[in-house]
Structure 1
Amino acid sequence: MSISLGELADILKAELHGDRDCRIERVATLQSASPGSISFLANHRYRSYLAKTRASAVILSPADQPECPVFSLALENPYLGYAKVASLLNSVPALPSGIHPTAWVSTKATVHETAWVGAQAVIEDDVSIGVNTYIGAGCVVSSQTIVGDYSQLVANVALCRNTVIGKRVLIHPGVVIGGDGFGIANNNGIWVKIPQLGSVQVGDDVEIGANTTIDRGALEDTVIEDGVKIDNQVQVGHNVYIGAHTAIAGCVAIAGSVRIGKRCVVGGATAIAGHLNIADDVYLTGASQVAKSIPKSGVYSSWIPIQESLVWRKNVVRLHQLDEMARRIKALEKSQIGIDQDGTFNG
């Protein structure tokens, strides 16, 4: 597929610098681009590659445009522009329809005629599979589950009983949705399992990365609102509520009954303790340890950036001495009682 630079400018509402008829066939980085490619500059760390790029055109900000040696499309959000162009030039094969001969589909399930059920997939009783929905190889869709129109379960996805998946949801391999939450009660040192009676509700236009797990609610449902994007290997505990258009990076752990607001960003490897509330528009930087609720929007961090090992070890030693240091400071403050600022005793 190819498209003219002028057409891209019209689609992006970008300022065109160059030949409208220049043909664009693919997207590439500034370093690897060749004629026929369009690249982008959205991060200042890569600005040094701009001068030597062999791309036919570059998507960039108006501020960077004067330094561009090739044709360009200037707009305020070049990364978003890149995303839109990549989608236009990404040739995705048409999805099949029908049921693979090795799949097992219950006679009590409803599978739309335009849907696809892949090899070795299992569709249990009272399941509903929507229009143009793709159920990949090895997926298991358990009883009373709904999968909305135009959604895709790529492969080896498990949807447990009573799960609801909205429209245009993309679920990558190895995801488990609706498994039991971690609910146990202690009886004199012996753990007793608590039945998990809720389900999982996933909204429209959600993406869930590979090997992520989303537990069913204990009593109330676990809810993922519209437009949420979840990376690989994320754990979402029971009764969690994630607000619309929140993005969660890889290896995040969210304990039970956490409520995350809308349009939040959760950096990779962040851990969020249970029963906390996080406001709308909160940005948690990577590896943050969230132990209390966050009532107002903003950027929050809670981890020590990387240091040379020797410096880090010294600081760890000092960290363990903080309690003793605090006692010494308190004693010094007490010893100064009755002494004026000029150093004379006033007791």
Structure 2
Amino acid sequence: MEVQLGDIVAALGGDLIGSAALPLLGLASLQSAEAHHLGFVTGAKHRAAMRASRAGALIVPPDLAEEAATQAALIVTPNPYLYYARLSQWWLAKVRAGRGSGGIHATACVHPTAQLAANVSIGPFAVIEADAVLEAGAQLGPHTVVGRAAHIGAQARIAGQVWIGEGCELGARCIVHAGTVIGADGFGFAPEQGAWAKIEQLGRVRIGDDVEIGANCTIDRGALDDTVIEDGVKLDNLIHIAHNVHIGAHTAMAGCAAVAGSTRIGKHCTIGGDAKIIGHLTLVDSVHISACSVVTRSITKPGTYTGIFPLDDNAAWEKNAASLRQLYKLRERVRALEKNNPKSDV
């Protein structure tokens, strides 16, 4: 697909320096870009890469505009990274618009009571069970299953081999990547004479608008109340959300994080990769958990928290970590003092 630089500025704004008629065939990194590509520079730390780049056009901040104008056409904007994000959406939407709707593949299995709105796309061997609802423009990849009475919002994009359980709901413009399971049974069992009696999971999963869920995630249905993921949440790959968890709007979680049952996470939180949150806790809004941390208590104050040993606010954790590195030397000093002064209180 070819677009002109001026088309981008007309759609997304920014100050244009150079020819509006410059033809562009794609977006590229500074290192791989050629004359028909558009790259972006977030700040002065990328100045050397910018100078070496062969990109025909660049998205740059105002403080680099004068320097960059000597080598390429420019879009000048205060936040190049955000501009690039918007541009990637705009570009992909134009590419997909050219493909048209895939319609309903001949091998798809659609129950007669399922409700399909206009312009839905259903891939090969997908299954839509009774009373399921797909709103306008929803897209399902091959081998995806939408369970009985599940609801898929308008313009949602569900990749191949996704399983969405009975009664679960996904909002508008959600994106779910391949292999994810939404609405499997939560982990609920009652002990019975040395064995386990299954507790049937009677709740659902309710997912808001503009949520993105990575590949091979599992989101369990609630035991009684629903598991809830609010608007704008972003989940990376390989994340487990247990039954009855509630995740607030615009929270983001990196890969391999896991949240145990009945935990409530506030809005605008970030959970680092491989972090673990045990069950029945509450994290208030704007809590940020560092990668590989284990959260063992509720957090009632916004801030950044770090640690695989007892959780603390980040500043205190850094001091304790520095002290921990000296612990062996301190132990040896204490042992020497005790040896030389056996009757002392040291």
TM-score (norm 1): 0.83
Matched, 1:272 2:277: yes
Q: 1:44 to 1:55 in 2, by over 3 A?
A: same
Q: 1:98 to 1:10 in 2, by over 3 A?
A: closer
1:64-75 equivalences in 2 (<5 Å): 64-68=64-68, 69-75=71-77
Contact 1:160/1:179 (<8 A) preserved: yes
CA distance in 2 between partners of 1:232 and 1:6 (Å): 36
Matched with 1:114 is 119
Contact 1:133/1:150 (<8 A) preserved: yes
Return the match for 1:190 from 188, 192, 195: 195
Matched with 2:303 is 298
Deviations 1:26-48 (CA, angstroms, capped at 9, x unpaired): 11111111112110122665432
Q: Aligned-pair distance for 1:283? A: 2.2
Q: 1:322 to 1:101 in 2, by over 3 A?
A: farther
Return the match for 1:141 from 137, 146, 149: 146
Return the match for 1:219 from 224, 228, 233: 224
Matched with 2:50 is 50
Q: 1:99 to 1:185 in 2, by over 3 A?
A: same
Matched with 2:317 is none
Matched with 2:315 is none
CA distance in 1 between partners of 2:251 and 2:90 (Å): 24
Q: 1:17 to 1:114 in 2, by over 3 A?
A: closer
Matched, 1:151 2:153: no
CA distance in 2 between partners of 1:21 and 1:217 (Å): 55
CA distance in 2 between partners of 1:258 and 1:214 (Å): 13
Question: Secondary structure in 2 aligned to 1:64?
Answer: helix
CA distance in 1 between partners of 2:39 and 2:67 (Å): 14
Q: Aligned-pair distance for 1:316? A: 9.2
Matched with 2:90 is 88
| More deviation, 10-19/138-147 | 10-19
Return the match for 2:182 from 171, 177, 181: 177
Question: Secondary structure in 1 aligned to 2:63?
Answer: coil
Q: Aligned-pair distance for 1:176? A: 0.5
CA distance in 1 between partners of 2:329 and 2:301 (Å): 30
Q: 1:99 to 1:270 in 2, by over 3 A?
A: same
Q: 1:287 to 1:196 in 2, by over 3 A?
A: same
Q: Aligned-pair distance for 1:95? A: 4.7
Question: Secondary structure in 1 aligned to 2:89?
Answer: helix
| More deviation, 212-221/78-87 | 78-87
Q: Aligned-pair distance for 1:317? A: 9.5
Question: Secondary structure in 1 aligned to 2:101?
Answer: coil
Q: 1:278 to 1:95 in 2, by over 3 A?
A: farther
Deviations 1:192-247 (CA, angstroms, capped at 9, x unpaired): 22111110001111111111110000111001111111111111111111111112
Unaligned runs of 5+ in 2: 310-322
TM-score (norm 2): 0.84
Deviations 1:25-79 (CA, angstroms, capped at 9, x unpaired): 3111111111121101226654321111111121122233344242322222111
Return the match for 1:284 from 265, 289, 307: 289
